[in-house]
Structure 1
Amino acid sequence: MDAARVTRALAWTTVVLAVADVVVAAQAVPLTSETAIAVHGFPFVELAVVGSAVLGALIVARYPRHLIGWLLTIVGVTGAVSLVTEAYAFWVQENDGPGPAALGDIAAWLSTLTGGQVSIAGLALMFLLAPDGHLLSRRWRYAAWVIVVGAALCLLAVLTMSPIGYHLLTDEAQMGPTRRLALSVGFLAIIAGLIASVASMLVRWRRSSGDQRRALRLIALAAAFPAIGVVCLLVVQSLNGDRQTWAAALPLFVSYFLMPVLFAVAALRHRLYELDVIINRTAVVVAGVVFAAVGYTAVVVTLGRVVEGTGRGFWLSLVGTAVVALAFQPLRRGVVRLANRLAYGQRAQPYEALADFSRRLAAAPPPGALMPAVAETAGRAVSAPGAVAWLDVPGGEPLTGTWGDGTAGWGHTIPVRLDGRVLGTIGVALPRGRDLGDADRRLLEAVAQQAAVAFGNTVLAGQLAAHVDELEHTTHRLTRSRLRLVEADDAARRSLEATIGREVLPLIADLPTRIAAVRTDVATGGAATGIDGLVTDTNRALEGLRELSRGVFPSQLARAGLEPALRTTLARTDRAPALSVDGVAGLRFSPRVEAALYFCCAEAARRGGSALQLGLDGDEVRLRVEGLDTGGLDLEAIADRVGAAGGTATAEDGVLLVSVPASPAGVAPRG
């Protein structure tokens, strides 16, 4: 037999025993008398034990191993046993009720054994463990041991007495000093444990927040009331000569009755143990049974009057059954809808939340609104106090959206998958002691399935936006590079023009006049005295033009290749760096590659480079220049020229590194 059936049977047993207690107690004493209310606690104790047993059975039906449910059930059952045996013993021993005297003695002994000390100890343990069935910390185990030891001392004191001859109003002399001491110490230990459980509940309440804090507030009140009632009982009895009167006992009995009431309100309002689900199903079953019975009877009676005396009883029964069967399904849907509305609160039926989420997705919300919407749908679908949705964005920060209270942590997560890829995660925060059931997991999976497409679209939109930004950035870089190349070309033209005007034109500007003078001298038979100066100036002009041509584009580079052109240029440069070549001797590359490397070397030579290393590394030509003055180096111009050939250029700590694809001659390089 499973736990749910056991607790359900115990709950029904408690109800039966409580009814029997009322019947027996009514025979022994008037139910409205002071004895019935102040001594026996009618009707508060009867209602309390029934409420405890039913509440415990509901909790165990959902969580078979939950200690709170079992403690409530035990408190209810033992309290019911104590009540009915006490009522019978009082009837037999005080009012000469039916049955032998020995049976009354045994009932009195059993009532004391299962009486107040067991109930108070069970309540103390329950409040020490509430609401999740675990101690607040390991150090609170000492309080639990105090309660257990106190209950054990009380039980031992009663167990060591003979049931035969035991009287409800046993005096201290009959019990003996040892038993009295054990009872006193045990009861004080139970009271101390009850006070400790109230303190533990207050600590939990101070550390909690949100729905859990509001639920613990009610449970703390349920724990504080019995403690106050016990203190009131002890104080009043110490003042009135140990007599149990209205003033002494009523606060304890009322607090005992309020305990399961407050506990149930906290559990239902804040969904501590998912009792709403069980009550939902119970409402459907009860409504169905009532409708089947009442509906069938009404239809049969109504039709019976119409066809009375016709002898059609069989057909009447068949028609009644058909009418009830046809009407039951619409009624069941209405009852389920109403029960869901009452049980689930704002989320109504869980799939209503999914339908609302579908409508919100149809509006294509932006990522900033999508993530909170997913979190809200997940939280409302499973009645979680808080929820969160994560979306992993490739190459960027993840997008998140939260809803509700997440202080309990996102301990329950469901991945969001699309085509086998995990795009993100949905997490919910549940109170301690509650876990996701199969129905809750199916709901979260349904939310994840609906969110998967939206997540995928968000990722694609993000990637598209990133590509657009990257393309725009690349376009801007190319535009700036083009502008720099144009500006560099214009600057080079202006520099060339200025150099020619400064170094070449002065030498050749008067050549026509000087040549005409020499021709006149020769024609008249005179000496050509200006011919030597003319030759000298012409040679100087040619040499200047030759020097200028090396900075523009050397013909040797196109004719002989990169290495010969570099060596010729470096040979004509003062303090030229040493050139070392590895693997490129005799090789020809595309004009763009050769021009890029040549002008990088020429610029480096002008900036004081101390060593040039030119080598072939796989399918790339690498240039390394050391000892550069990088402060005066126009790195942007070099990077633009190298980038036009599909390569890269970096300069750091006086070292220039250039890498260009080794495109063979006649093949345009990439880039």
Structure 2
Amino acid sequence: MTVIAASAAVAAAWVIAAVAALLADRPGLARAAGLVALAQTAATVWPVLAPLAVAAWLTCGLSLPDGAVRTWPRRSIAVLAWLCAAAWAVRLPVTPPAVVAATVGGATVALVAVLARCPSAPAPRRRTLQWIAAAGVVTSAAQIVIYAVHLLLGMPENVLPWALLAMAVLPAGLALAQASGTARLAERALVEAVVVAGLALLVVAVYLVVVVGLAREPVGAEREVLLASVVAALTAVVLALPVRFRLVSLGVSLLGRRGQTPEEALASFGARMSRAVPFDELLLQLVESLRAALGQAGAEVWVGTDGVLHRTVSVPERPPAVLTLNDKERLVVGRTRIGGTAWLSVWLPALVEDREAPIRVAPTAHLGDLLGLLVVRRPREGVEFSDEDDRVLIELARQVGLALHNMRLDSALQASLEELRQRNEELQASRLRIVTAADASRRAIERDLHDGAQQHLVALSVKLGLAREILKEDAAMAAELLEELRTDVQQTNAAFRELAHGIYPPLLRDHGLGEALRSVTRRVRLPYTVEVGLTRRYPEQVEAAVYFCCLEAIQNAGKHAGPGASVEVRIAADGGVLRFSVADDGRGFDPGGGQGHGFVNMTDRLGALGGRLFVESAPGAGTTIRGEVPVDG
């Protein structure tokens, strides 16, 4: 066996894996396997390209189970592998030991990535990963055994070709994963691969200890005996599990049993529910157990809500299907424990494929709420379902109904937690905006006092000083100056009143929303009407929120509605809710284009009181701002 022959055999194995993936309608996986086959072939013809084959192996392992390198860490590792491979091929010597070592290292990294993705992958993809992991475990064990035998007996003389040939098991595992009948064997294959590999390594370790105990290498006839015993031990390890399985099956058949019993199916499902098994994996295992124990012709699980049920899992695999039930059918099916052919012909006729073949359907429900169906079928020549079979199926349906109900509760809890998280983020952002707005308001008040009222007071102080000086010399001029002072005092008073009105309008405090909003008329440049239908006053913070929201909407209309528009304000209360609207017939706008700070401020004001804001507008159709705040009845 030469390195070139072993490399060619591995390339051929990858070609077979690529064809198998293509036939299974897995084009991404076929491309990944084809890339490895191409790189391995190139390395076989031009050994200097062997580093590129190593990079291809690693990339394929990172792309499993669907042939796509999706996450950034995996993409980074793949790109780094190709860059290192290219640099190695161009600048460094390519020797067979280094290539085999790098290949083993890359395959180990890929195998670790596969094992890490196994628990979280969806059930169909998990089967592929399990077959690859099983092949990887067997490959690693085989390479260790080959090297150990070489140390013990000096055979084979050249370890590298055999170590490389052992890696053909990996594409073989990938090809097996694509076969339609091997999906249900993936989990068992991985478990048995780990067991067989562990026992093989144990045997090799024992023989190494024996040789070390002899303190010398075996010679002559000793080597032949040792080789025969190693081969015999490894053969016993490989055959132990299959032979045990066959013998157990023979013993069970002698007892008149075939496959898994209904009680075993019930017990195994309960045991799996107590472990953290993904729900899709749990359903797949349940269907496999149902077919083995109760329904030789097939088993299915339907899941859904509100009378719409979907075929979720089936063995043998069936195409997706949907059952839609009306309210009466939901009620009857949800309260039924188990149904046969006659019952199905009335309530679920779509499930009856052969009236002569035995079939049982057990609804999975919780407190009468239909959540799904368990369906088991037997061939026409099969025996009828017994009372014990019905009892097991009913109990399984009860457990599945409980699991589905818990899953719905968990989904609802996760949705509630996500909503609470979003509301918490919105509340924090709202608080920040409120603090920022308060700071801006204080700065605006300080600016207005400095630039307005304070300047009036300074001017008054100066003029009073002049009046005192002039009064001694020219009484007539002093009288004119005092008249100017009177006018200045009135202007100062108006400035303070305007400032106070912006902080909290006195009319709102004394007379309520109607008078306060009507007083805004003189500051609105558009035709403006106010209609307030309130019979009583409301808490100060509620009236303030509504007033300032209306004021903000009125000012927006004055800025953006256009010169020919008019504004109408309506305020009313009913059902414990205070409602307002500010409508204009102006230009309008597209609400989907984003909302400005004014809308955000209005939303925050109402949100702080448990209220809501609604914006209705369209280009050329005007704008209506509506809001509502809950109040005491």
TM-score range, shorter chain: 0.3 to 0.5
Larger radius of gyration, structure 1 or 2?
A: 1
Using the size of structure 2 for normalisation, the TM-score is 0.46
Using the size of structure 1 for normalisation, the TM-score is 0.43
